[in-house]
Amino acid sequence: MGIWAAFADKHGGIWGTSRHALTVGFAATMVFAIGPRILPHFAGVYSIFSKRPMFVSLLLLQTGCTLRVCSEPLAYEGIASFAWKTLPVSGILELGGVLVFAVNIALTMLAGKSAFAHADGSRQTISTA
């Protein structure tokens, strides 16, 4: 996309697409895929609240990102005017994915089973000495 943008980008649509594909398409997807498995352990919680919201958040994020990456060059470069109508939809889908991810992590932290709890309900203490 960078090569395409260097030669054909006139109004910023191709550069914007390449940035969005890198930040949302790669970085945010990596956080959404790995975060629910790692973040609970940092807080001492045994596992994620539910795996379904993990899938839903990734699905919404990737659907929104795909719509954005496909429609942004068309809209900004003046190739197809209908693409302007898909840009807000892509943003809503991505924001929905972020909200589902955040709610799942919040529920994990609030209602998760402690990784340090014993079967009888008592907590294990960790000695640093």
- Domain of residue 54 covers 2-111
* Residue 49 DSSP label: S
Give the distance from CA 76 to its chain's centroid.
24
Mean pLDDT over each residue of the chain, to the nearest integer: 80
In a domain, 119, yes or no: no
Tally the domains of the chain.
Answer: 1
Question: 75-129 pLDDT, tens per residue?
Answer: 877 788 888 899 899 999 999 999 999 999 888 888 766 655 555 555 555 555 5
In a domain, 116, yes or no: no
CB 69 within 8 A of CB 26: no
In a domain, 120, yes or no: no
pLDDT at 128: 55
Place of tokens 């839903």: 56
